[in-house]
Chain A
């Protein structure tokens, strides 16, 4: 099994309400399984390349304090790419839920804020440390 992690996500989706016997569009919360970013997953190559513009060019001088340039557009694009390639769908979080998550731009922005701090930045810094300097 690939290396994965779970993260709770809130997004707008259609849920079936049994009492009303009808679909309702509402905010739902689901534990979603993601594949970790890795160097050798070809499906994640685009994400990897999209990370470069977010950081200063790494040198031996700035390797310990690499500056992060906030660019919401790039960050949103990376998050969308990450959702498309790295979510592991199951019976609870289906492909339909993934489509609904991709339709909810505010949920993507919220997820991108969490991802950049907890996954993207640590991964990129690790890459800089291991490969570039």
Chain B
């Protein structure tokens, strides 16, 4: 039981940093949801004379995700960036790590990040108004990566 405890991270165990292309760092304090999607395009290779797939190949990696945060904090970040909306933000960095001791570090650093969609809704009865940002990135940084 005690051994498993070190593998269980709650949301408060993460530190989330957003670095704009002017290299101003901004800790995301009011994050509601952060999603990260690391994927690659796959293709099934068939050969003549055989019905079963001969090979499953992949290439073209994709790094994308969403950041949902409170609109007030997003407004402050936009002021730092000197812009009125998120889709002008390019070449940013999203860096996420765990701050409590676990067996291994959960580190994700996405670079060359571009905000592709800045989505906000204000509902008449809302108690808070989080905005959703969709992003895509060029690379994931990892000093431990052997296969990247």
A binds B: yes
Chain A residues within 8 Å of B, Cβ to Cβ? 13-14, 16, 18, 20-23, 91, 94-96, 99-100, 103
Chosen A-B contacts, 12 in total, with CB atoms closer than 8 Å, are A13-B99, A14-B15, A14-B97, A16-B95, A16-B97, A18-B93, A20-B143, A21-B95, A23-B95, A96-B15, A96-B99, A99-B99
Q: How many residues of B contact A (CB 8 A)?
A: 23
B23 A18 Cβ-Cβ under 8 A: yes
Q: Which residues of B contact A (CB under 8 A)?
A: 12-15, 17, 19, 23, 25-27, 29, 93, 95, 97, 99-101, 105, 107, 109, 111, 141, 143
Q: What's the A-B contact tally at a CB cutoff of 8 Å?
A: 49
> Could you tell me if A96 and B27 are in contact, using CB atoms closer than 8 angstroms?
yes
Q: Is the CB of B27 within 8 A of A91?
A: yes
- Contacting B107 at CB < 8 Å: which of A13, A23, A91, A95? A23
**In the complex, A22 Cα to B110 Cα: how many Å?**
10
Pair A21/B141 contact, Cβ less than 8 Å:
yes
Give the residues in chain A near B26, CB-CB below 8 Å: 91
Q: Is the CB of B100 within 8 A of A103?
A: yes
Q: Which residues on A sit within 8 Å (CB–CB) of B17?
A: 16
Contact A14 B111 (CB under 8 A): no
**Which B residues are in CB contact (< 8 Å) with A22?**
107, 109, 141, 143
B99→A91 contact, CB < 8 A: no
CB neighbours (8 Å) of B14 from chain A are 96
Closest to B107 in A: A23
Interface centre among B19, B99, B105 (most CB of A within 10 A): B99
The 8 Å CB contact of B19, one of A18, A23, A103, is A18
Residues of B within 8 A of A13 (CB): 99
Whole-angstrom CA separation of A91 from B72 in the bound complex: 13
Instruction: Report the separation of the CA atoms of residues A103 and B101 in the bound assembly, to the nearest whole angstrom.
Output: 9
Contact of A94 with B95 at beta-carbon distance under 8 Å, contacts A23-B105, A103-B100 already known: no
Write the nearest CB–CB distance from B21 to chain A, whole angstroms: 12
Inter-chain contacts of A18 with B (CB < 8 A)? 19, 23, 25, 93
- Complex CA–CA separation, A20 to B109 (angstroms): 11
Measured between C-beta atoms, what is the minimum distance from A24 to chain B in Å? 10
Give the complex CA separation of A91 and B132 in angstroms.
21
Per the bound structure, the CA–CA distance linking A63 and B76 in Å amounts to: 51
Distance in angstroms from B5 CB to nearest chain A CB is 14
Partner of A95, one of B12, B93, B111, B141: B12
Give the residue name and chain of the A residue nearest to B144 (CB). A22
